[in-house]
Structure 1
Amino acid sequence: MRFPALTALVLGAIVACAFAPLDAWWAAFPALALWMALVHAAPTMRQALWRGWAFGVGHFTINDNWIQHAFTFQDQMPPVLGYAAPFALALYLAVYPMIAAGLAWRVRRARIDTAWVLFFAAAWIASEWLRSWVFTGYAWDPLGVAWLGLPLDDMALLARDIGTYALSGVFVLFAGALLLAARRRRALPVAVVALLLVQVVRGALDVPPSQATTAPRVVTVQPDVPQDQRGESDQAMMLARLVRLSGRPGAVPRLVLWPEGVIRDFIEDDYPLWVYGDTSPWATRARMASVLGPRDLLMTGGTALQFDRRGDVATATNSVFVLDHRARILRRYDKAHLVPYGEYLPMPWLLRPLGLSRLVPGDMDFLPGPGPRTLNLPGFGAIGVQVCYEIIFSGHVTDRARRPRMIFNPSNEAWFGTWGPPQFLRQAQLRAIEEGLPIVRATPNSNTSVISADGEVLGNVPHHRAGAIDLPLPPARPPTLFARVGNAMAAIVALLLCAGAIAMRRRRG
């Protein structure tokens, strides 16, 4: 092949199309298989690494193209930089497919065999796991998420047992089986077809958890507020729209859920008066609580401030507040996994002199919270919270000491364009499957949804529409194997694949 690196770049771009909104899985499997063959054919380690890196550049440039849209909503950097941002990020993220390619090339033999495909899948699992935590992690769209785009998405149910990163390894196994089938090697193709059939039967026989007759209701609201209409001058309009869409109290307790990034006024008491301006925190909370009955609660995104000894604002947290019908704040959750360049600027000593800034309004970095916490809400029990970006981190979305009955995922995807929101929804679906917990999402204008513990979307408000979903709180499943073991399952599956590959090699000599 005359231009292997360019070919790898194109193949990476094709594999990226397996994710929402395109769901072109039918092209992704052969493209991934061809890239694996390209890595195997590399004459040197350097060439294998180069082909792995080129694949990653193509893959992540296409998959993360929604980042460009974020530059539209800030004025401290030229918006034209947004067109270069996905490519610039891909230059770094491509390191991880490069690692997988290098590891696989190191153990290759003259011909592509089943053992080598097993090694490649194990290497891919390791590289994705590394990507999820190195430099705070960027766990966006691991390959395992693409299973949800298939017409038969029962393979995604494997996440209950092995989690997302090991599920990505299964995706590589299927691509490798396609490669072996083309070379008339049948063992792995037969095995993956058998696995697919087992999962289809498993999905058909799966019994969903029973719904309690006394289950409270969840009302999750999407006000359809674009990113460029979220300034302070629009707060009264946004609050009125949220109140109107939230409905009225009924006979059954309701947990009313509002998104991140819409309530801009400060609602906590005891701040210096100059912070509030012309608004009153009590009046704002009273207006919010007007949608609640005596047994209802409201959970909403908001901002909490922290002050220094002089009374100046020291820092802030991206928070979720719980209000009752008397407009009292009962609980607060502070987001722990913050978005680089969104909620804080990494390495400001280097980046600010270069003219780089955060992509959201304001110059103050947010302070991270302590991590996943379960909130005990009167009448509703244990409720987990993961704000926006936090939901993409497999194995880090629940408080292991106290398992919740539901996860609330308020999010603001109004600055993610048209590609980001459907990808976000898919990742939340996979978290629900992994943990065996329903997830309820509230966003300003994109894919507000109620997701069952099996990953099924029970209700959804589409992109750029205002609306609300009012459903009984979906039941949780018993803790899944992954919920008990966590991402250790990725290591276990990778080690089993390596052990199987070594056993095959030794048997054949």
Structure 2
Amino acid sequence: MKWVKTDLRSWMMALAAVLFGAVMPLAYAPYNMSVVAPLSVLGFYAVLQMSRTLRMATWIGFIYGFGTFAVGISWIHVSIDQFGGVPLIVSIALMILLCGYLALFPAMSGWLWYRICHDKPAILSAFAFPSIWLVTEYLRGELLTGFPWLAMGYSQTHSWLFEWAPIIGVQGIGWLVVFIGVLLTQTVHPKRLVWALPIIALVGFGTFKASNFIQAEHTGKFAKVALVQGNVPQIIKWDPESQWPTMRLYQDMSRPYYDHDIVVWPEAAIPAVELSAQDYLHNIDSTLAWRESAMITGIIDYQPRTRSYFNNLVVLGRTESEGENPSYYYGNSNRYSKHHLLPIGEFVPLGDLLRPLAPLFNLPMSSFSRGDYIQTNLLANGWKLAPALCYEILFTEQVRLNVRIDTDFIITVSNDAWFGDSIGPHQHLQIAQMRAKELARPVIRTTNNGITAIIDADGSITDQIPQFEAKVLSAEVNQYRGQTLFSRYGHYPIAILSVLSILIAAITRRRHSTIR
């Protein structure tokens, strides 16, 4: 009978953990219920504290993470199911494997917490657990090329904690969310209210001060931009018969906006390799130079000598704001080559082994080469833009290091048609909002089928085009100058705090064990 009660208790804990994890994605776009994040952590941490063994704590972390990712990245199944060419049962199995892998990192949090903190004073654990979470979340964003999607900090783009972004970045905000969730678990203990409530109040006061800490200022200048959303269905994207109609569509949509400073097309808007589209590119280049404008477009570059593909952005028309000479030629340096490639979509790990197994591992253009980690800003009509191609906007440190003091804007282009009418594109836009706020630079975001948008330096969306509409967004984008604390120091301050918190907890545990 005792075994039955214990087993039932374990199952109830697991059920609670998976439910707390499953509701966590409500904190992210498109739902933006930010308060759900600390409440989800509250529930998770409360269940974790009930763990009586190391194995149980690890399992609670795993099942919480599995619930979060099974719901939060369900949009990936859209691309696997619709374009992967595999049976439904296989696509579901692949999603289970992916969610299981990502859940290993919350499981690591549970394991480390139990090893270091489970018998420690509550206040020590309150500081150590958010630090443990941050370390494991960092590892998730780095190992096997990294997948930092649904990092805890992104849940707060519509909350008061968003004001911390220019100071401590997305990981720092994530630390605060977990910290608040842990502190809330202590409010049920009257004796712990003495220190828990004052700390929560201190976080609130710090947020108020952060919101009044001006780190970048509008110069009074602005660029007039036109963002072209062609809404080309993914199923015909690389169809040879659709190549010219697609190229003509983007050109026809853009022509009325050649009086703007910059026209922007999305990722791989031109469905042809760069060498074969030279006449088309030079024609646009000459016209834009004559009209005193510039264009940034995505295009695939295939270099026959090295047999290498690159996912590129190139600039057509004017480079500087003066002069009418066309600036584009094949191989010029005013281009950007994507560094952080998307697994399966742009490179296939163990390709020789996996490619013969299913069409999923042999998608068009899935053998790209990497560009450099740090590259020069694009120069278009006198404006300097730091690029992040599609998936790259997710990698905070890479974007930070490519935004310089004289960078005017961040530009990110994408093709989210792979993910249909799912929550993925909304989460992708939310990530771009975080980059704008962290670095105090407007983000120009152009996509094939949505969501195309202008994000101001404070992280707010000023203009956007709805999904699944062929439309052009004409807007003025403000120029800012100044550097945020985050742009100078990145996540190093919060990383140092986290390491120190974990070390103090670990040392305290060792001394306590020695005394016993």
Residues 444, 453 of structure 2: 8 Å contact kept: yes
Match of 1:228 among 222, 231, 235: 235
Name the CA distance, whole Å, in 1 between partners of 2:296 and 2:410.
12
For residue 471 of structure 2, what is the aligned residue in structure 1?
A: 467
2:417 maps to amino acid: A
Deviation string, structure 1 residues 254-300 (Cα, Å, up to 9, x no partner): 111100032112333xxxxxxx4xxx521354257646654211100
Cα distance, 1:65 vs structure 2? 0.2
Match of 1:482 among 467, 486, 499: 486
Q: Say if 1:97 and 1:89 are closer, same or farther in 2 by CA, change over 3 A.
A: same
- Report 1:51-66 matches (<5 A): 51-66=60-75
Residues 438, 487 of structure 2: 8 Å contact kept: yes
* Counterpart check, 1:296 vs 2:302: no
Deviation string, structure 1 residues 165-221 (Cα, Å, up to 9, x no partner): 2221111011112211123322233322332244245436758722424x3322222
For residue 163 of structure 2, what is the aligned residue in structure 1?
A: 157
Cα distance, 1:361 vs structure 2? 2.3
Deviation string, structure 1 residues 309-329 (Cα, Å, up to 9, x no partner): 7xxxx2211111111164734
Match of 1:166 among 165, 168, 172: 172
1:182 maps to amino acid: V
Moved more, 467-476 or 455-464: 467-476
Cα distance, 1:102 vs structure 2? 1.4
Name the CA distance, whole Å, in 2 between partners of 1:91 and 1:243.
44
Residues 12, 57 of structure 1: 8 Å contact kept: yes
Moved more, 472-481 or 41-50: 472-481
Fraction of identical pairs, as percent: 26
* Counterpart check, 1:263 vs 2:256: no
For residue 303 of structure 2, what is the aligned residue in structure 1?
A: 306
* Counterpart check, 1:87 vs 2:96: yes
Unaligned runs of 5+ in 2: 1-8, 319-325
Q: Say if 1:469 and 1:359 are closer, same or farther in 2 by CA, change over 3 A.
A: farther
Name the CA distance, whole Å, in 2 between partners of 1:378 and 1:144.
33
* Counterpart check, 1:196 vs 2:193: no
Cα distance, 1:107 vs structure 2? 2.7
* Counterpart check, 1:321 vs 2:309: no
- Report 1:211-290 matches (<5 A): 211-213=219-221, 215-230=222-237, 231-246=239-254, 248=256, 254-268=261-275, 276=276, 281-287=278-284, 290=287
Residues 268, 297 of structure 2: 8 Å contact kept: no
Cα distance, 1:499 vs structure 2? 7.2
Match of 1:449 among 449, 453, 461: 453
Residues 385, 408 of structure 1: 8 Å contact kept: yes
Q: Matched residue of 2:384: which SS?
A: strand
Name the CA distance, whole Å, in 1 between partners of 2:451 and 2:225.
16
Name the CA distance, whole Å, in 2 between partners of 1:259 and 1:292.
20
Q: Matched residue of 2:218: which SS?
A: coil
| TM-score normalised by the chain length of structure 1 | 0.87
Cα distance, 1:12 vs structure 2? 1.1
Match of 1:352 among 355, 370, 374: 355
Residues 70, 82 of structure 1: 8 Å contact kept: no
* Counterpart check, 1:425 vs 2:429: yes
Residues 141, 427 of structure 1: 8 Å contact kept: no
Moved more, 94-103 or 471-480: 471-480
Cα distance, 1:468 vs structure 2? 2.2
Cα distance, 1:504 vs structure 2? 10
Q: What is the RMSD computed on CA atoms of the aligned residues?
A: 2.9
Name the CA distance, whole Å, in 1 between partners of 2:201 and 2:253.
47
Q: Say if 1:158 and 1:499 are closer, same or farther in 2 by CA, change over 3 A.
A: farther
For residue 273 of structure 1, what is the aligned residue in structure 2?
A: none
2:76 maps to amino acid: I
Q: How many residues align?
A: 488
Cα distance, 1:346 vs structure 2? 0.6
- Report 1:24-173 matches (<5 A): 24-74=33-83, 76-78=85-87, 80-110=89-119, 113-149=122-158, 153-173=159-179
Deviation string, structure 1 residues 466-490 (Cα, Å, up to 9, x no partner): 2222223322341212211223234
Q: Matched residue of 1:140: which SS?
A: coil
Q: Say if 1:469 and 1:496 are closer, same or farther in 2 by CA, change over 3 A.
A: farther
Q: Matched residue of 1:415: which SS?
A: helix
1:368 maps to amino acid: R
Name the CA distance, whole Å, in 2 between partners of 1:293 and 1:195.
55
Cα distance, 1:74 vs structure 2? 2.9
Q: Matched residue of 2:377: which SS?
A: strand
Name the CA distance, whole Å, in 1 between partners of 2:258 and 2:76.
42
Name the CA distance, whole Å, in 1 between partners of 2:398 and 2:450.
24
| TM-score normalised by the chain length of structure 2 | 0.86
For residue 209 of structure 1, what is the aligned residue in structure 2?
A: 217
Q: Matched residue of 1:261: which SS?
A: coil
For residue 395 of structure 2, what is the aligned residue in structure 1?
A: 393
Q: Say if 1:205 and 1:456 are closer, same or farther in 2 by CA, change over 3 A.
A: same
1:318 maps to amino acid: N
For residue 495 of structure 1, what is the aligned residue in structure 2?
A: 499
Cα distance, 1:72 vs structure 2? 4.1
Answer 1 or 2: which has greater helix percent.
Answer: 2
Unaligned runs of 5+ in 1: 269-275
Cα distance, 1:123 vs structure 2? 0.2
